[in-house]
């Protein structure tokens, strides 16, 4: 099956991701890739972090017994991976081998108006500052220093600029701007690194969950209501596919996370009744 259009056409790699016998994907909430094109799959099962090579061969897993509700993820400089756990109200920094380096927030202690109450996403800027979308409880964004000191917070419940219905995903771009997927408001909001509102994209989204920007400034947005969109940095739609709920290869039930590798291949993880990862090989 071929999906997408123009320069963004993909062939579906059916059956990608060879799990050990008896294992399964459950609610694939986060995906990142490293410089070797290894794929880190953050999911809500007994083995929270499952790592594959580019061809889908199982490499290892870690994080067993450490997470409540895996949610968002990001990778920093091929050294560290940050993981948001909406169920235990923390964001944690690990080495790629699973060694815990730093914890933000207080485990199992939701905090009203402060980090965190059910955080959803995390992203690290080019200077190491950490941005967290504190989505389900606080409807805020928090900025931390590389050492984990809280620098500032912004946002409140609402539909206006700088307000959120659900800040569900976040991406710190190398241009210094912060892109937030405001899922229930069906938009992407753009801020400078100090939280000043710049712009918003409302490109007929249907519950955008998060976003990833590749090195060529292509923007990948998985939308919970069954579709995947790719935009340019002006917010102009390049291609979109899906839209109708389907378990068929190449289509979607509930896309939650997306990332690309160095070849431009796209990985999309699904939650709710989707519970899978799909690989799309760029043609």
**Euclidean distance between the first and the last CA atom of the chain, given in angstroms as a whole number:** 12
Asked if 134 contacts 118 with a C-beta cutoff of 8 angstroms, the reply is yes
Facing residues of 133 across strands?
121, 141
d(Cα 72, Cα 84) in Å, to the nearest integer?
5
The helices-and-strands tally (H runs, E runs) of the chain is 0, 25
Instruction: Domain of residue 225: give its range.
Output: 2-282
| Mean predicted confidence (pLDDT) in 218-234 | 98
Tokens read off for 164: 């959120």
Q: What is the pLDDT of residues 83-128, one digit of tens each?
A: 999 999 999 999 999 999 999 999 999 999 999 999 999 999 999 9
* CA pair distance 199, 133, nearest whole angstrom: 17
Say what the pLDDT of residue 37 is.
98
Q: How far apart are CA 158 and CA 170, in angstroms?
A: 18
The CATH number of the domain where 221 resides is what? 2.120.10.30
Q: What is the pLDDT of residue 59?
A: 98
**pLDDT on residue 191:** 98
Task: Compute the average pLDDT of residues 45-55.
Answer: 97
Give per-residue pLDDT as tens, 141-175: 999 999 999 999 999 999 999 999 999 999 999 99
Cα of 197 vs its chain's centroid, Å: 21
Residues forming beta bridges with residue 51, ordered by sequence position: 40, 60
- Name the domain count of the chain: 1
Q: For residue 186, say if its preceding peptide bond is cis, omega within 30 degrees of 0.
A: no
């Amino acid at each position: 099956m071929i999906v997408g259009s123009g320069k963004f056409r993909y062939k579906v790699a059916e059956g990608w991701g060879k799990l050990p016998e008896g294992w399964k994907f459950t609610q694939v909430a986060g995906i990142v890739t490293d410089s070797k094109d290894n794929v880190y799959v953050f999911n809500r099962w007994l083995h929270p972090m499952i790592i594959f090579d580019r061809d889908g061969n199982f490499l290892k897993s870690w994080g067993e017994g450490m997470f409540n509700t895996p949610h968002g993820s990001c990778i920093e400089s091929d050294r560290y991976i940050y993981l948001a756990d909406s169920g235990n109200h923390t964001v944690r920094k690990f080495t790629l081998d699973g060694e815990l380096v730093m914890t933000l927030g207080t485990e199992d202690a939701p905090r009203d108006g402060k980090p965190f109450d059910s955080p959803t996403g995390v992203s690290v800027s080019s200077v190491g500052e950490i941005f967290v979308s504190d989505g389900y409880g606080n409807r805020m964004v928090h900025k931390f220093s590389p050492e984990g000191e809280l620098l500032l917070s912004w946002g409140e419940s609402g539909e206006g600029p700088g307000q959120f219905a659900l800040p569900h995903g976040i991406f710190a771009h190398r241009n210094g701007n912060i892109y937030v997927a405001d899922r229930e408001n069906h938009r992407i909001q753009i801020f400078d690194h100090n939280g000043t509102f710049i712009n918003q994209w409302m490109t007929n989204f249907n519950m955008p969950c998060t976003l990833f920007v590749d090195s060529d400034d292509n923007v990948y947005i998985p939308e919970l209501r069954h579709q995947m969109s790719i935009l340019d940095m002006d917010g102009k739609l390049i291609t979109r596919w899906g839209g109708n709920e389907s378990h068929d290869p190449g289509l979607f039930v509930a896309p939650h996370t997306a990332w690309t590798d160095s070849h431009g291949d796209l990985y999309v993880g699904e939650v709710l009744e989707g519970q899978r990862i799909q690989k799309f090989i760029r043609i």
